Chains A and B, each alone.
Chain A
Amino acid sequence: MRRWLPAILLALAATGLARADEPAGAASATATACAVPHEQITGPRSGERPLPLLSGDPAHGFRTACSVPWSTLSPNRQPLPVLACFRGSLLQLPARAVCPGVSGPLWVGSRWVKTNEPQGPAVRADQARSAAQASCEQLQTGAYAATRDYHYTCQPAQRDLKANPAPAEAAKAADSPPAPAPPSAH
């Protein structure tokens, strides 16, 4: 047993190191999933302003690609399918060569586009039930911690600019009910 002990400890340490070195961008699919499912991008929410596009993927990180007006992305003004979503912030567009010199998937910020989400009867019922029962919290890492009935519509509470609240304040905040969630735009 004594002979094996250093080897076991070494293996455990190596596992820990590997986890610490894991790049931030290499998040699992569940960690990067969007809170609200998006089906289609129906149009811009930036008027005539060009939309900033990113290239890359969650595993390797994102880069700025170019800025193009909505008419370049959708010449016929037809809705575009959302291929993937990253933490509610980025939506993946169908591959198109709209940015010179950029290949691979393109992403647009969810702030700048209108989307619709799957609204089947089962989904609506599930949302209504979960919204009534679930409670959730968004961790500093961006991941969600929640009860079993957690649903995507769960919103984080309001915030404060204080960097390190005093213990008494923190306790007081914990006692108070969470702030009401703003209405969803989707």
Chain B
Amino acid sequence: MQGLRNLLWRLREARPRLVREGLHSLLLAAVALFFLNFNVYGTASPSKRYSQDLVYAWLGDEPWLYPRALAASSHGTAARPHVTVVMLDERALALRGARWPVPLGFHSQLLAELEVLRPRAIFLDFLLLDPDSREDICELLQLGARLRGEGIGLYLGVTRPEDLAPFDAAGCRAAQGGLMRAAQVFTPVSVQRQADDSDFVGRRYPFEQRAEGAAPGSGLPSAAVHIYCDATADPAACLKRLLADMPPNAGFELAWSPQGDPFNQRWSQAPCAVTVSPLQAVLNRPALPRESRCPPVATLFASALLSPAEDAALGADNQTLFNLTEGAFLMVGGNFRGSGDLFTTPLHTLLPGVYYHAAALQNLLAFDGRPKVRKEFRSPKLFFYGFDLVVLWLLASIFLWRQRWLQRVQPLTYGPFELSPAAREWLAPVVARFPTPAWIVASTVLLVLMAAYHSLQLIAVAAIILTIVLVELRVARRGEIRERIRALILYVAAMGVSLLVIALAVWVGYTQLRLPPGDWLGYLTFAAFGFFIAHAAILEFGRRVDELHLARLAGGAAP
């Protein structure tokens, strides 16, 4: 009881100091938040996108980050809904004596072949805008109606809902004699794409295509959004939830895995499962781009579907093929020379446009319809920036606590990473033995070499650190070395606590608030280095203002 009373008394005593330090750390956090989101001429975007790409490049295979479902064939089960791309190319067209652009009759033939696979839904990533004969239109609608009757959803990419009008104008009749409407057979979906302004990479997938000023939910839902929602128990509620409160240009972030789908190894020249050890990555490979030409979505070439000679290893009874496609979302797209339907991905170079929709659907399935959305598209926006401020406030408090502790235990006038005066005094005469032009030219040549050859940078940094440590050990007093080691341990301990805070922030931000990993590197950078820079300028100014304020109060003047 006495102990508790003492603690309360000490807390009451320390309250003014705690409040002051809390306010100082808040100021520091606010400055950090400002710099994290400082976006003159779009300067903040590349760093955030780089942070995001880096996270997915190195951790994109981790199920906690991106729990995507791979092709059924790799697991031997089709229990989990998954996405499969069916790729149409010149070789497939040649097998049926067709050329691009193909008549509607070819699409009918392809749909008839896909029907055998018993998929859950089929999405045609083609704009069927070319005029065609009534016979071909009716053939396509009748076949589509049959697939619909079997419970297979059919989705068609359009630029606007009116694109289906020529189908209706054909006046096709069903087997029962009723007039067939295209919208009864095909669900029109938007196939618009979004790319980041800074580097034109397709990281973001639009929710819907709607005009400026139109109400949320009133536009044409994007392909992946519509397909996903139709697969849920309540499609209308799903669409309402995903599209509500979103600005017209809003989209969700696409998580990527650096690994290709194992199914694609049967045709891909590039390895689909690349393992890079961290040491090898640091020494030999740049952090980004970590590209793989093996796509992350299982891909069945239409030519393999149309001719067993193209891929005879799909099972004697096509079992591998059926495992891959039964109950799957089939995304049918084209990869024709010169068609230009390609998009830039963060981790898989240029891919045909259909992968954009396939990756988006994979994301919606992986995150159970709760994809990651940037702060700028969220509502209320200030709440999400407030979350960042709280995280940075905690990190700034840890930083200030460490600084204060350091001042208490280490009466040195220099920081733990700075050269000691003794080391400076030892180094200066050594360098002074050489004439000024000689050591400046030598340093310049070394720096240019390091700038030009990246592998030299790591070696040089390691050599410099080793040299400084050896010099310090040689010239510094024993007590000084002990204090410096203590300061370093304190720094590591503070970084450990900061990492715990960051891990908690990542968990809350990613899984609960559905924020993409664009700010994670920013948190880490501020915890490791950023506060050092902000600290000196901002807090000294804050302390000076505090002192002036207190002086004025002591002098009896109004603050």
Contacts and interface: CB of A to CB of B under 8 A. Distances in A.
The residue in A45, A112, A161, A164 that gathers the most chain B C-beta atoms within 10 A of its C-beta is: A161
A93 interface: no
A120 B204 CA distance: 59
B96 interface: yes
Given A27-B97, A142-B91, A111 B305 contact: yes
Interface string B306-321: 1111111100111000
A52 B115 contact: yes
Q: How many A residues touch the partner, as a band?
A: 35 or more
A24 B93 CA distance: 11
Contacts of B152: none
Contacts of B115: 50, 52, 67
Nearest to B351: A161
B176 interface: no
Interface in A46-71: 46-47, 49-52, 54, 58, 61-64, 67
A155 B311 CA distance: 10
Contact of A161 (B96, B109, B335): B335
A87 B96 contact: yes
A63 B310 CA distance: 23
B352 A112 contact: no
The residue in A54, A63, A138, A182 that gathers the most chain B C-beta atoms within 10 A of its C-beta is: A182
B199 to A, nearest CB: 20
A88 B352 contact: no
A25 interface: yes
A60 B98 CA distance: 12
A80 interface: no
A88 B139 contact: no
Q: How many B residues touch the partner, as a band?
A: 35 or more
Contacts of A162: 293, 349-350
Contacts, number: 134
Contacts of A27: 97
Contact of B108 (A51, A64, A111, A160): A64
B305 A25 contact: no
Contacts of B342: 163
A124 to B, nearest CB: 18
A158 interface: yes
Contacts of B339: 163
Given A63-B109, A87-B94, 4 more contacts: A24-B99, A46-B318, A90-B96, A163-B338
Interface of B: 87, 89-91, 93-99, 105, 108-109, 111-113, 115-116, 118, 139, 143, 267-269, 293, 295, 299, 301, 305-313, 316-318, 322, 335-339, 342, 349-352
19 contacts: A32-B97, A45-B316, A45-B318, A47-B322, A62-B105, A89-B95, A109-B113, A111-B305, A111-B318, A140-B91, A140-B337, A158-B268, A159-B267, A161-B87, A161-B352, A162-B350, A163-B336, A163-B350, A182-B313
Interface of A: 24-25, 27, 32, 35-36, 45-47, 49-52, 54, 58, 61-64, 67, 86-90, 109-112, 138, 140-143, 155-156, 158-164, 179, 182-186
Q: Which 5 A-B pairs have the closest CB atoms?
A: A142-B94, A52-B112, A89-B95, A185-B312, A89-B307
